[in-house]
Structure formats: structure tokens, C-alpha cells
Amino acid sequence: MELRHLRYFVAVAEEGSLTVAAERRLHTAQPSLSRQIRDLERAVGTPLLVRSARGVELTPSGRVFLDHARLALAQVEAAVEAARRAARPDKPTLALGFLTGQEVDWLAEAMRILRDELPNIEVTVSSQHSPDLAQALLHGRLDVAFMRPEPGMPDLDYKLVLTEPLIVVLPSDHRLASQDAVALRDIVGETFIGMSGTAPTLRAIIDDCLQRSGLDIPQAHRVDNLAMAISLVASTRGVALLPDYARNFLPWAVTSRPLAGERPAIDLVVGYNRANGSPLLRLFLSRLDRLAKRASPG
């Protein structure tokens, strides 16, 4: 069994079609790809894929094998990236990632932590959705990220930085803007804007909050990010539940109010791959208590 077998299998499983995987992902001939999959199945000793009217589907064995194949490929990518970094010893690099928008609050603080080391290191910064940050940590493209605690990522460790409440975001001239706080029952009948699968942790917290309320608050729209949510609040005169840091980005036409009653909250964490042996990562983690103090009220 070779790495190419794993890459071919993952491509077919994700595309659901030998033809599509061959043409779009692997740039190889479909008959050749079929042979590679058969070779893999012989090596494993059990069928992994079955043909169906919709293309190909995973067998129960295939579903189990897929998770391990992805992990093996991710570990290989991480090893390659680590080796490439080791080949550039002249100026070590620390790759920082931020949940889009959080760099406004935390980049300066993160750089302050590294202030004494900055003359000797290079710091790169990227801004992405939290699930994308998790994948970058797994694949070795990032060393550390300010993100949400993503489920189903056993190779990642998290350290809590801040727990922030959700707030109600609404048009500045909305009838509810005159209130000091807005209860969920106040937004029944309003155009409610929820989150899509690009923010699974936030989406789960919002969905759970609405479900436990017992109120009829259908989600008219689901958006990918804070900027889109804020734009829809302004354009549809809707309301949204967003993390408190969204207040940093509100235009004049949009405002926020605390949520009355029980206030759901979401964690901001520093995530990292526990297999990452970078000394700079260990240095950064050893100084996280400064970030905790920065996040404490007062």
C-alpha cells in the first residue's frame, strides 16, 4: 500500500465518482484509477467502495478506512511542512491564524507576547473560518490559531482565552433598539439571520438556544460570516445573534443590545497541534497567562 493509494481513495470518496475524481482531482485516466482502487482493496482485504446509481458509495469498511486515510495524509503533510521549516534555520517562523475579525483584538497582544523574540523570528498571519484554521493546524500550515474549539479534532489541543456572550444585532432604528436588553420572545416574528455550516460551533450554540427557548423563531437566512450577517441585518431589517466581538465591526446603521435572560456564550481558544514540536510554539503557549489576564474583566 502506498500513499498514492490513500490519496486516490480519499478523492473518490469525497467526489462520489471515479470519473469526476479522475478528471478533476487526480488528472489521470479513469481505468487507471479503478485499478489503483482495486489494488488498495486487495491490500486492505475487504471492499471499500461499491457502485450505485449515484456513482460510488463507501461500504461500512470504507467509511472507517476514510477517517484513517485522511489522518495519515494529514500527518504526512505536517511532516513535510515541518521538514521544510527545518531546512530554513536562518530565521524560524511562527505561523499565527485568527478567526476572521478576531485579529483586531488579539494580534497586537499576540505580538506583545513575542516582543523579546521578534528580532530573531518571522511571524506570518492569516485570517480564516475556524474549521479552515483547524485544518491548517492539522496539516502543519499554522502553528497556533485563535479559533473556536472545533469538534472531531482529536489531534488538536485548546487553551481557553475568552468566553464571550452572544449579543442581539439589529438595525439602529429598529423598534427594539430603544430597549436596554432584548429577550428572545421580543424577536418572534422578526427576520432572523442564522449561521451556516462554515461556523459550526457558533451555529450549534445559536440553534440550541432557539430550540431550548421553545419559541417559534425560524431562520430566514443562514450566512457564512459576520460581515454577511451584519449586511443582511441592515438590508433586510432583520436581527441576528452574534458573538460580542461583532460590535467592533458594526456600521452606523446597525447596533447591538445584550440578550436578556439566559445569555448563551461561545469560547475563543488558542488551538494547536499537539504533535507540533516547534520551540516557538512552546514559548508562545508558556506565555498565554498574559492573554488570560488581558481577557479578564477590568
Indicate if the pLDDT at residue 284 is higher than 80: yes
Please tell us whether the domain made up of 90-161+267-295 is placed in CATH 3.40.190.10.
yes
Q: Is 163-266 in the same CATH topology as 3-84? A: no
Say what the pLDDT of residue 88 is.
62
H runs (alpha helix) in 175-278: 200-213, 226-236
pLDDT level of residue 41 (50, 70, 90 thresholds): confident
- Beta strand pairing call for 192-195 and 219-223: parallel
DSSP letters, 86-137, are HT-TTS-EEEEEEETTTHHHHHHHHHHHTGGGGGG-EEEEEEE-HHHHHHHH
Alpha-carbon gap, residue 259 to 266, rounded angstroms = 14
Alpha-carbon gap, residue 191 to 35, rounded angstroms = 53
Please tell us whether the domain made up of 163-266 is placed in CATH 3.40.80.10.
no
Asked if 184 and 261 touch (Cβ cutoff 8 Å), the reply is yes
pLDDT in tens, 227-269: 889 989 998 999 999 999 888 888 889 999 999 988 899 999 9
What residue has cell string 494580534?
A: 107
* Grid coordinates given for 15: 467526489
pLDDT in tens, 147-195: 999 888 889 999 998 899 999 999 999 999 999 999 999 999 999 999 8
* Grid coordinates given for 47: 471492499
Domain ranges of the chain: 3-84, 90-161+267-295, 163-266
* Grid coordinates given for 242: 452574534
What CATH architecture does domain 3-84 belong to? Answer: Orthogonal Bundle (1.10)
